[in-house]
Amino acid sequence: MSDIEIFFEEYPVFGSVIMIVCIVVIAGILLIGRSFTSADGDILTPQNWQVMNAKKAYIQELNGLRMDALALTEILNADQPDPIQGQIVTDAVLSHTNNKEGHSALREERTALSNAAVAVRSWSQGAIAYEDVLMIVNNTIQLLLAAEIK
């Protein structure tokens, strides 16, 4: 018998610990490898990694803008204008659209949504006609739908 076999016979727990550590290390390498590999199996370069992260941020922000637009349409679908609800919802939308750290490719969409929020607030307070606000909100929704990347 070799010295290694004698060592593992004397300390059987140590051999089990080494096996578990090896399995954990291999699993960790697998997970790290998957995070650096694209869905089609190509290895991601630093530039591709940056593009992938930028697309993820773009999609997340666009989904947030769409949710805000949905909140504005819910105010417009109400039977009566509610200035309190209009103020609260539009303040929340404006806080999202005034985000200076937003994706630069969505600047136009954020501006359009901000304008729509101001219009909905004005409508809820009785300052603008419903048809005018509806047109602004519909144009904003169309802009947000056109911004989708595939």
- Tens of pLDDT, residue by residue over 22-64, are 898 888 888 777 666 666 666 667 887 788 888 999 999 999 9
62 in Cβ contact with 147 (< 8 Å): yes
**Amino acid residing at 149:** I
Domain membership of residue 52 (yes or no) is yes
Q: Are 63 and 31 in the same domain?
A: no
Query: Rounded to two decimals, what is the model's pTM?
Result: 0.71
Q: Are 29 and 55 in the same domain?
A: no
Q: Are 76 and 135 in the same domain?
A: yes
- Give percent of the chain with pLDDT exceeding 90: 50
Domain membership of residue 41 (yes or no) is no
Give the model's confidence band at 4: pLDDT under 50 very low, under 70 low, under 90 confident, else very high.
low
Q: Are 63 and 132 in the same domain?
A: yes
Question: How many domains does the structure of the chain reveal?
Answer: 2
- The pLDDT of 108-124, averaged and rounded, is 95
Q: Single out the residue of 8, 26, 4 nearest to residue 16, CA to CA.
A: 8
- The pLDDT of 69-91, averaged and rounded, is 91
Q: Are 122 and 100 in the same domain?
A: yes
Q: Which residues of 45-84 are buried (b: 16+ CB within 10 A; e: fewer)?
A: eeeeeeeeeeeeebeebbebbbebbebbeebbeeeebeee
Q: Are 86 and 129 in the same domain?
A: yes
Look up the domain containing 27 and give its range: 3-35
115 in Cβ contact with 128 (< 8 Å): no
Q: Single out the residue of 85, 92, 98 nearest to residue 69, CA to CA.
A: 92
Cα–Cα dist 112/86, whole Å? 17
Q: Are 25 and 59 in the same domain?
A: no
Q: Are 100 and 122 in the same domain?
A: yes
**Amino acid residing at 21:** V
Q: Are 58 and 128 in the same domain?
A: yes
pLDDT at 76 over 60: yes
